[in-house]
Amino acid sequence: MRKLLTFAIACVLLQGSVPAAAQELPDGPGRQIVATACGTCHDVYRIRIGYTAEGWRTVMRMMQNVEAPVAPDQSATVTHYLIRSFPERPRPTAVVAPGPVAVLIREWAVPTPGSRPHDPLATRDGAI
């Protein structure tokens, strides 16, 4: 009986050593790194939406740009884990708004891949 009680206590204590988020992520190399590193700043459940392979590479570059706690030698493992475990999921279908709509979208290349510039300022001469 004492051995059984000791085993049960050990199991409860060891379970606390694995973050709850890691317990719910798919198995595979990189799982613990994602749970620990990504979970430091984010709710790891947000990754379930998924991305294309290139999308995950962009996310990883963004995280490297802000010095996420992933060692350079772990970056490829994490990227492959995310690509394999969280592929892009179907997006909701668009709703067509009736009536005329005019939209202008401009894109600019950024000097640092994966950077997320925001709040651009348009000057009077049209420069950004």
DSSP-derived secondary structure for 46-74: GGGG-B-HHHHHHHHHHHHHTT-S--GGG
Q: Which of 11-20, 41-50, 61-70, 117-126 has the highest mean pLDDT?
A: 61-70
Range of the domain at 77: 2-85
Domains identified in the chain, total number: 1
Q: Is 57 a domain residue?
A: yes
Given a cut of 70, whether residue 21 has pLDDT beyond it is no
Q: Is 121 a domain residue?
A: no
On the 0-12 / 13-18 / 19+ scale of CB atoms within 10 A, 77 is middle
Q: Is 106 a domain residue?
A: no
Q: Is 101 a domain residue?
A: no
Q: Look at 20 and 28; give whichever has higher pLDDT.
A: 28
Q: Look at 60 and 114; give whichever has higher pLDDT.
A: 60
Neighbours of 96 (CB within 10 A): 6
Given a cut of 90, whether residue 119 has pLDDT beyond it is no
CA distances to 4, 41, 73, 96 from 33, in Å: 32, 13, 12, 41
Q: Is 60 a domain residue?
A: yes
**Which pTM value belongs to this model?**
0.59
